[in-house]
Amino acid sequence: MGDFGVVADVSTIVVDTLNRALVGLSPDPPTAELNDLSEPVQIDKPKLTVFLYEVAEDPTSRNRPPVRALPPDAPTSRKPPMALLLRYLITPWGGDQLTQHRMIGRALQVFYDEAILSGAELSGSLAGSTEALHFTLTPLTLDQKSWIWYAIQKPYRLSLNYEVRVVNLDSLDVSELRLVRSRTISGGTTP
């Protein structure tokens, strides 16, 4: 499960996965970096920017039961983790059009081949956990993509939209459960 840093950990995993994939593209390979696109992108060499543009709650994971733990001293109950969907915009910058298309192709290839990351592929608060991150290319219309670029006040560029699910964010709402030590059953009379 993830603590409050899980969103940052997933963003790091996305960037690290892309950087490993970009190594073989050229003698001086492009890089991937986190960027909120609020400032002009510095293009000293070709790169992919990774922009987390939306965090949403996964509606299919609502109404899960509380998580119960039975430590030796006192059993506890915790609200189920909040299941998050993280939506990323991945955009090529710099180089010529063919280089940008190769970077897009490599990103598509890596998230197709490694659509589910788990176990040793995870880092940060997710390292060593049983969590799995599922990467899905989000089918957006050209109008929807244009609105994203309009919202960040940048001209439209070729980009990929990926959704990462399910990122579990642990709740801090923990309550101690009291054990039942005895019970009394009283018999009633039947007519």
Quick one: which of 173, 182, 165, 181 has its CA closest to 58?
Answer: 165
Q: Is 101 part of a structural domain of the chain?
A: yes
Rounded mean pLDDT, 38-66:
87
Query: What is the tally of structural domains in the chain?
Result: 1
Q: Is 191 part of a structural domain of the chain?
A: no
Give pLDDT, residue 79.
75
- CA 156/CA 159 separation, integer angstroms: 9
The DSSP secondary-structure symbol of 63 reads T
Q: Using one digit for the tens of pLDDT, what is the confidence trace for 67-97? A: 666 666 677 677 778 889 999 999 999 888 9
Give pLDDT, residue 137.
97
Q: What is the DSSP string of 169-186?
A: E----EEEPPPP------
Q: Confidence band (pLDDT; 50, 70, 90) for 14?
A: very high
Give pLDDT, residue 81.
81
Q: Using one digit for the tens of pLDDT, what is the confidence trace for 126-155? A: 888 888 999 999 988 989 999 999 999 999
Rounded mean pLDDT, 89-114:
94
Is residue 125 within 8 Å of residue 9, measured between CB atoms?
yes
Give pLDDT, residue 184.
80
Task: State yes or no: pLDDT of 189 exceeds 70.
Answer: no
Range of the structural domain that residue 165 is part of = 6-173
Q: Is 11 part of a structural domain of the chain?
A: yes
The token pair that represents 9 in the structure block: 């950990």
Q: Confidence band (pLDDT; 50, 70, 90) for 177?
A: low
Whole-structure pTM value: 0.82
The domain that holds 13 is classified in CATH as 3.30.2000
Task: State yes or no: pLDDT of 1 exceeds 60.
Answer: no
Q: Is 25 part of a structural domain of the chain?
A: yes
Give pLDDT, residue 11.
96
Quick one: which of 43, 52, 37, 53 has its CA closest to 93?
Answer: 43
Q: Is 100 part of a structural domain of the chain?
A: yes
Q: Is 178 part of a structural domain of the chain?
A: no
Task: State yes or no: pLDDT of 172 exceeds 70.
Answer: no
Mean pLDDT over the full length of the chain:
86
Sign of CA dihedral 169, 11, 121, 105: positive
Task: State yes or no: pLDDT of 61 exceeds 70.
Answer: yes
The token pair that represents 179 in the structure block: 């054990």
Quick one: which of 137, 102, 112, 115 has its CA closest to 24?
Answer: 102
Q: Is 70 part of a structural domain of the chain?
A: yes
The token pair that represents 139 in the structure block: 């089918």
Q: Confidence band (pLDDT; 50, 70, 90) for 186?
A: confident
Integer CA distances (angstroms), 190 to 80, 132, 183, 185, 186, in order: 43, 56, 22, 15, 13
Task: State yes or no: pLDDT of 2 exceeds 70.
Answer: no
Q: Is 186 part of a structural domain of the chain?
A: no
